Structure 1
Amino acid sequence: MSIKIENLTHIYMKGTPFEKKAIDNVTLEIKDGEFIALIGHTGSGKSTLIQHINGLLKPDSGKIIIDNVDITSKNIKLSNIRKKVGLVFQYPEYQLFEETVEKDIAFGPKNLGLGEEEINSKVRRAMNIVGLDYKKYKDKSPFELSGGQKRRVAIAGVVAMEPKVLILDEPTAGLDPKGRDDILSNIVDLHREYNMTIILVSHSMEDVAKVASRILVMHNGKCILDGEPAKVFKEIDTLESVGLAVPQVTYLVKRLRDKGFNISEDIFTVEQAKKELLKVLKK
């Protein structure tokens, strides 16, 4: 399901001394099945942008066309759009409320009016894909779980509705290294299993490098960079000028190249660096 954003502008507190243009004439297209990373410093406009894609905010001007439907037009039924575009907010575990894991994940599918058998099937599938054993966790209270497990339950609750687009706002925020890796692995599995379009909002260049096939960089409400990780991470000066960076391993590779090591400059994950360095050492 493609997403077309045309000349999108959003202004907070318009007409007041605190007026701020959060989105400034942004135009871009996200194709069906893409894995997008949306990055930018705090206040860059990325959170405002994703709330427009889900229909939570209305733009001051511009259009958002999802599945050939302009969701900014009058009389549009946004509940139908939100069935197709799932949004997982930052720290989604604070939104858990049911007495068991199964009931919490089943809440969304029930609201879609599905039958019990189909709901159960979707809950089981969603729990499996986020790494929660159904029999072990279905009757547990979500409030008894660890932070990482709560995060998985919250993500599974959105995934169980099987949206065509899944937006995740800082899904690894506040987790320990293992929890971060587990959640990222689950998101990659989601993309593969459901073939859904993923939009991942993150501050972590390392996270982005591991999973995304395309990166959008926001700054002052504009999209200033757009491309594959190898292309975007070559723009070190531009990224640093807006308070961002490239993955640490990319800085290491740059230093090694400066010292005369014949290694590829298109390296932005530890795994890529490991393979490249082993090649060099074997020569």
Structure 2
Amino acid sequence: MSIKIENLTHIYMPGSPFEKIALDEVNLTIEDGEFAALIGHTGSGKSTLIQHINGLLKPTRGKIIVDGIDITAEKIKLSDVRKKVGLVFQYPEYQLFEETIEKDISFGPKNLGLKNEEVVSRVKKAMNMVGLDYDIYKDKSPFDLSGGQKRRVAIAGVVAMEPKILILDEPTAGLDPRGRDEILDRVKQLREEYNMTIILVSHSMEDVAKFATRILVMDKGKCILNDVPSNVFKEIETLEKVGLAVPQVTYLIQKLKNNNFNISEDIFTVDKAKQEILKVLRGAKND
């Protein structure tokens, strides 16, 4: 399911001394099935943007077209929009409330008016996709789980709604490296299993480099870069100017290039760097 945003502007508290332009004439397109990463410093407009895509905020000006439908139109039922566009807030485990994991995950599907058999089927599938065994965890309290497991339950609750677009706001915040990798690996599987369009809000360039097919860079309410990772990470000066950076391994590759290593510049993950450096070293050994 594609997303097209046209001239989107959002002004908080217009006409008051506290007026703030959070989004300034944003234009962008996210194609069906893409894994898009949204990056930028606090206050750049990321959270405001994703809340428009889900219909939680109304624009001051502009349009948001989801799957060919303008969701900013007057007679649009936002409840229908939110069935298609799932949003997982930062620290979603704070929104868990039911006494068992199964009840918490089934809350959304039940509100869709689905039959009980379909609800159970969706809960099982969602739990499996986030790596929680249904028989082991269904009757456990979500409050007895680790932070990473709680995060998975919260994501499963949105996934069980089977949205076509899944937006995740800093889903790995506060987790250790292992927990981060587990969550993002599951998100990648969700995209493949459900053919979802994914929008990931993140501060981690390493995470973005590993998973995203497109990167959107926000600064002062504008989308200043919108391209595939290899092209965005070439814009080192632009990224640093807005207080961001490229993945650490990209700086390493740049230094190797400057020291006359014949190495590709299109490297921004540790795995790719390892392969390329070994290839260069083996070539030098053979020479």
Question: Would the TM-score normalized by the shorter structure come out above 0.5?
Answer: yes
Structure 1 spans left out of the alignment, 5+ residues: none
> Structure 1: how far apart are the matches of 2:183 and 2:45?
24
> Structure 1: how far apart are the matches of 2:251 and 2:18?
39
2:163 maps to which residue?
163
Instruction: Give 1:240's aligned amino acid.
Output: E
Q: What is the alpha-carbon root mean square deviation over aligned residues?
A: 0.5
1:130 maps to which residue?
130
**Cα deviations across residues 203-228 of structure 1 (Å, max 9, x unaligned)?**
00000001000000000000000100
Equivalent residues in 2 for 1:144-159, closer than 5 Å: 144-159=144-159
Is 1:219 the counterpart of 2:219 in the alignment?
yes
Equivalent residues in 2 for 1:23-102, closer than 5 Å: 23-102=23-102
Structure 1 segments of 4+ aligned residues over 2 angstroms from their partners: none
**Cα deviations across residues 56-111 of structure 1 (Å, max 9, x unaligned)?**
00000001111211111112100000000000000000000000001100000000
> Structure 2: how far apart are the matches of 1:177 and 1:196?
25
> Structure 2: how far apart are the matches of 1:280 and 1:27?
41
Instruction: Give 2:192's aligned amino acid.
Output: R
**Cα deviations across residues 18-42 of structure 1 (Å, max 9, x unaligned)?**
1110000011111111110000011
Counterpart secondary structure, 1:168: strand
1:185 maps to which residue?
185
Counterpart secondary structure, 1:64: strand
> Structure 2: how far apart are the matches of 1:70 and 1:87?
18
Instruction: Give 1:20's aligned amino acid.
Output: K
Counterpart secondary structure, 1:76: coil
Length-normalised TM-score, structure 1: 0.99
> Structure 2: how far apart are the matches of 1:249 and 1:67?
37
> Structure 1: how far apart are the matches of 2:167 and 2:70?
19
The alignment covers a number of residue pairs equal to 283
Equivalent residues in 2 for 1:193-232, closer than 5 Å: 193-232=193-232
Is 1:274 the counterpart of 2:274 in the alignment?
yes
> Structure 1: how far apart are the matches of 2:69 and 2:229?
30
Give 1:151 deviation, angstroms. Answer: 0.1
* Percent of residue pairs bearing the same amino acid type: 77
Structure 2 spans left out of the alignment, 5+ residues: none
Instruction: Give 2:19's aligned amino acid.
Output: E
Length-normalised TM-score, structure 2: 0.98
Counterpart secondary structure, 2:131: coil
> Structure 1: how far apart are the matches of 2:136 and 2:255?
48
> Structure 2: how far apart are the matches of 1:266 and 1:273?
9
> Structure 1: how far apart are the matches of 2:151 and 2:95?
10
> Structure 1: how far apart are the matches of 2:90 and 2:269?
25
Counterpart secondary structure, 1:58: coil
